[in-house]
Structure 1
Amino acid sequence: MAGPTPTEAPERTRVGPAERSTDGHTPDSVARAPMLAIGGWPAWLAIGGVTLLAVLGALVAPSLSVPRWARYAPLAVSLVVFGLPHGAVDHLAPARVVGDRPTGRWLAAVGLLYLVLGVAYAALWYVAPAVSAAFFIALTWFHWGQGDVYALDALGATHLAERVTRLGTLVVRGGLPMLVPLLRFPDRYRDVVDAWVALFGGGLDASWFFAPETRAVVGGAFAIVTLATLTLGRRHGGSPAWRRDAAETLLLWAYFLLVPPIVAVGIYFCVWHSLRHIARLVAIDPAARTAFAERGAVAGLRRTGRDALPLTALSIALLVGVAVGVGVQTDVRTLAALYLVFIAVLTLPHVAIVTWMDRAERAGLARLAAEQ
Structure 2
Amino acid sequence: MSLPDSVALPLGSSAVPRRASYLIVLAAVAAWLLVPSLATWLLTPLLLVGALLLGVAHGACDQFVVPVTHPALTQSRLRYWVAFLVGYLGLAALVGLLWWWQPAVTVAVFFGLTAWHWGSADAPALATHRRHWIMHSLMRGGLLFAVPLHYWADETRAIINGLLGLGGAAPVSPAAIAQTALVLGIVVAGGHLLLWASYLRQGHRTTARTDMLEAGLLITLLVVLPPLLSAGVYFVFWHSLQHVLRMNQLMGRPLLSRQLLLGAEIGFFLRRSAPLLALSLAGLAVLYGIAWSQAATGSVFISLALLVASVVTLPHALLVTLGMDAVRWR
TM-score range, shorter chain: 0.7 to 0.9
Q: Is the 8 A contact 2:14 2:121 kept in 1?
A: no
- Corresponding residue of 1:49: 27
Alignment partner for residue 198 of structure 1, among 165, 180, 195? Answer: 165
Alignment TM-score, normalising by the size of structure 1: 0.76
Match of 1:208 among 160, 170, 175: 175
From 289, 306, 310, the counterpart of 2:275:
310
Whose helix fraction is larger, Structure 1's or Structure 2's? 2
Aligned residues: 319
Q: What secondary structure does 2:105 align onto?
A: helix
Partner of residue 138 from structure 1, selected from 108, 112, 127: 112
Q: CA deviation at 1:74?
A: 5.6
Identical aligned residues as a percent? 26
Gaps of 5+ in 2: 1-7
C-alpha contact (below 8 Å) 1:74/1:267 kept by paired residues: no
Q: Is the 8 A contact 1:291 1:299 kept in 2?
A: no
Residue 330 of structure 1: SS of its match in structure 2? coil
Contact 1:328 1:334 in 2 (8 A): no
Q: Does residue 298 in structure 1 map to residue 263 in structure 2? A: yes
2:136 alignment partner, one of 152, 165, 169: 169
CA contact (8 A) 2:24 2:237 kept: yes
Q: Displacement, 1:107?
A: 2.1
Q: Distance in 1 between matches of 2:38 and 2:151?
A: 15
Tell me which residue corresponds to 2:4: none
Query: 2:202 maps to what in 1?
Result: 236
2:92 to 103, 109, 118: 118
Shift of 1:291: 9.7
Output aligned runs, 1:76-95, within 5 Å.
76-95=48-67
The 3 A distance-change label for structure 1 pair 127 and 65 is farther
User: How far apart, in 2, do the equivalents of 1:135 and 1:31 lie?
Assistant: 26
| Structure 1 residues 246 and 84: CA distance shift in structure 2, 3 A | same
Equivalent residue for 2:187? 221
Q: 1:79 to 1:313 in 2, by over 3 A?
A: farther
TM-score by length of 2: 0.85
Offset at residue 293 of structure 1 (A):
11
Change in 2 beyond 3 A, CA 1:53/1:229: farther
Structure 1 stretches lacking a partner, 5+ long: 1-26
Deviation at 1:80, TM superposition (A): 1.6
The Cα offsets for residues 28-49 of structure 1, whole Å up to 9 and x where unpaired, read as 366679711xxx1111111122
**Structure 2 SS opposite 1:205:** coil
Aligned letter for 1:161?
A: H
